[in-house]
């Protein structure tokens, strides 16, 4: 049985290897995920200008760049991967907004200040955590009272369904949670966590958040004939949401 710290270590090495494959993103829009509505459509973050914002799992820094270009006063980015943090540092280097980076697992973030942030955001990163309870309590502690957390993650139903032989089928149970070690995810070992939607909601409530909005909308296009065997495809998005987006605030 893998221990949590071993999983974090495997994922750190994995993300250091695959980081280049994830060097993407745009500062024109804030993309919550493939086939998901954008921040420009949803307006979940509210006022960015003059805000102090934390990004959990900041990857190559494009969301930080997006926030800086919209007038954030101060930004912090946390990520496990040295290679992602190094890229993110370059991406934000000439923006004129102070950005503090912490290279650390989100399960235990040394140096993260208490009651400091107006907002926290996390795009397709939070679900990597091996300890959702600890991660959410770290974020909760770091937010000011009333501070907002907005995160997106692969929809837990999407994660367990695959397209095969022109049909969607369950590749694993939705109700049995837990981790799965993949020996060659994009060519490297990685450990993924499977959680139900209710687990995310209940853990947010346990951490002291009030949920404002849950979004499961899917932006499929009837004229899209792209390859339906891709993990994210129009055919799949037509039947199940690709992405779960939750907005909540600290009380
Ligand atoms: C799919 S990428 C998303 C990056 C970025 N938010 C974006 O939208 O491009 C997931 C990120 O989560 C980071 N990550 C994975 N597990 C983590 C953990 N336990 N603690 C902190 N970061 C983690 C990875 O290094 C990677 O940069």
Confidence of residue 240 (pLDDT cuts 50, 70, 90): very high
State how far the Cα of 123 lies from the Cα of 56, in Å rounded to an integer: 8
207 or 24: which leads in pLDDT: 207
What pLDDT is stored for residue 4 in this prediction? 96
**173 sits in which H/E element:** none
CATH number, position 124: 3.40.50.150
pTM for this entry: 0.97
CA of 79 to the centre of ligand 1 (A): 6
What pLDDT is stored for residue 203 in this prediction? 98
pLDDT in tens, 133-173: 999 999 999 999 999 999 999 999 999 999 988 899 999 99
**Which residue owns the Cα nearest ligand 1 atom 20?**
105
Angle, alpha carbons 134-59-46 (nearest 5°): 75
Residues 81 and 56 sit within 8 Å (Cβ to Cβ): no
CA of 210 to the centre of ligand 1 (A): 24
CA of 197 to the centre of ligand 1 (A): 20
As beta bridge partners, residue 78 has 56, 102
Look up the domain containing 219 and give its range: 4-250
From the CA of 122, give the closest atom in ligand 1.
6
Confidence of residue 224 (pLDDT cuts 50, 70, 90): confident
From the CA of 8, give the closest atom in ligand 1.
19
Residue among 59, 111, 185, 191 whose CB has most ligand 1 atoms within 8 A, to mutate? 59
Number of structural domains in the chain: 1
Cβ partners under 8 Å of residue 42, min gap 6:
32, 215, 245
Across the chain, what does the average pLDDT equal?
95
pLDDT in tens, 110-131: 999 999 999 999 999 999 999 9
Residue in the structure block whose two tokens are 């501070």: 147
> How much is the average pLDDT of 228-239?
91
State how far the Cα of 27 lies from the Cα of 15, in Å rounded to an integer: 22
pLDDT at residue 189 greater than cutoff 90: yes
Burial degree of 70 (CB within 10 A; 0-12, 13-18, 19+)? middle
From the CA of 128, give the closest atom in ligand 1.
16
Report strand pairing: 52-56 vs 117-123.
Answer: parallel
Q: Range with the lowest mean pLDDT among 16-20, 96-100, 146-150, 177-181? A: 16-20
Q: Which protein residues are within 6 Å of ligand 1, measured from CB?
A: 8, 11, 15, 22, 25, 57-59, 62-63, 78-81, 84, 105-107, 123-125, 128-129
What pLDDT is stored for residue 25 in this prediction? 65
**HEC-encoded secondary structure of 219-244:** CCCCCCCCCCCCCCCHHHHHHCCCEE
CA of 166 to the centre of ligand 1 (A): 32
CA of 57 to the centre of ligand 1 (A): 4
Token readout for 200 is 């995310």
List the one residue out of 23, 12, 53 whose CA is nearest residue 148. 53
């Amino acid at each position: 049985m893998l221990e949590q710290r071993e999983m974090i270590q495997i994922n750190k090495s994995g993300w250091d290897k695959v980081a280049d494959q994830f060097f993407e993103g745009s500062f024109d829009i804030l993309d919550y995920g493939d086939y998901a509505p954008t921040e420009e459509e949803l307006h979940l973050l509210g006022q960015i200008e003059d805000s102090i914002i934390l990004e959990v799992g900041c990857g190559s820094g494009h969301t930080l760049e997006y926030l800086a270009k919209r007038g954030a006063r101060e930004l912090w980015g946390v990520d496990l991967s040295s290679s992602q943090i190094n890229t993110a540092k370059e991406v934000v280097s000439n923006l004129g907004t102070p950005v503090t980076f912490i290279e650390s697992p989100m399960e235990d973030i040394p140096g993260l200040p208490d009651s400091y942030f107006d907002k926290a955001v996390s795009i397709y990163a939070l679900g990597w955590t091996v300890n959702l309870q600890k991660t959410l309590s770290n974020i909760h502690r770091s937010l000011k009272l009333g501070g907002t957390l907005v995160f997106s993650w692969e929809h837990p139903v999407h994660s367990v369904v695959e397209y095969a032989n022109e049909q969607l089928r369950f590749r694993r149970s939705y109700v049995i949670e837990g981790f799965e070690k993949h020996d060659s995810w994009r060519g490297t070992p990685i450990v993924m966590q499977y959680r139900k939607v209710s687990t995310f909601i209940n853990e947010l409530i346990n951490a002291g958040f009030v949920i404002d909005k849950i979004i499961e909308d899917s932006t499929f296009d009837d004229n899209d004939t792209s390859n339906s065997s891709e993990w994210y495809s129009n055919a799949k998005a037509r039947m199940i949401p690709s992405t779960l987006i939750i907005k909540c605030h600290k009380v």
